[in-house]
Amino acid sequence: MTSVPLEASLDRMRESGYRLTRPRRAVAQALLEAQDWLRPEEVLTRARAHCRTVGLVTVYRTLAVLEELGLARRVHLESGCHGYAPAGLRHGHYLVCLACHQVVEFPGREDLTPLIRQISRKTGFVIEDHLLELSGRCPDCR
């Protein structure tokens, strides 16, 4: 999964009016350097390696900022929990293993426009964005 480099992400946060405190920077670094998705508690543990004073509230607030800016994506799991993954440079979708919870991003090249229009017509919703997650078992867990 290719993510936006850390310094570019921090610049984007700063340009959007967010202060870059040491704890917020540590949270961003912990998530954006991850090779996979992380639960907020895992982000906290990794962030504390960079700044011991990071708290869980800061983790949740920073993850929300990163998601709002398109730098992170929320990954939903069947158990009702969720985690966060660094956002790729393009719109992507996720495969989630139900056994080991591995998350793999695949590019969103498929044109879902006809389906989205059809759903919009049938429901009256103005659809602004979408998230596609497919769940199953990865090759190692089959």
> In this structure, is residue 97 part of a structural domain?
yes
Q: What is the pLDDT of residue 89?
A: 40
Residue 135: left (phi > 0), alpha (psi -120 to 50), or beta? beta
Amino acid 80: pLDDT: 63
- Adjacent-strand bridge partners of 75: 83
Model pLDDT for residues 109-132, shown as the tens digit of each residue: 677 788 889 999 999 999 887 777
84: containing domain: 6-136
End-to-end CA distance of the chain: 23
Question: Does 48 fall in a domain?
Answer: yes
Tally Cβ neighbours within 10 Å of residue 58.
19
Say how far apart CA 67 and CA 74 lie, in whole Å: 7
Sequence letter at residue 70 = G
Tell whether 41 is covered by a domain: yes
Does residue 141 fall inside a structural domain?
Answer: no
Assess contact for 93 and 132: CB atoms under 8 A.
Answer: yes
- Number of domains the chain contains: 1
pLDDT given at position 50: 95
| Element spanning 6, H or E | helix 6-15
CATH code of the domain covering residue 95: 1.10.10.10
Tens place of pLDDT per residue across the chain (142 aa): 445 678 888 999 999 999 999 999 999 999 988 877 788 999 999 999 999 999 999 999 999 999 899 888 887 766 666 778 777 644 567 788 888 877 777 766 677 788 889 999 999 999 887 777 788 898 999 9
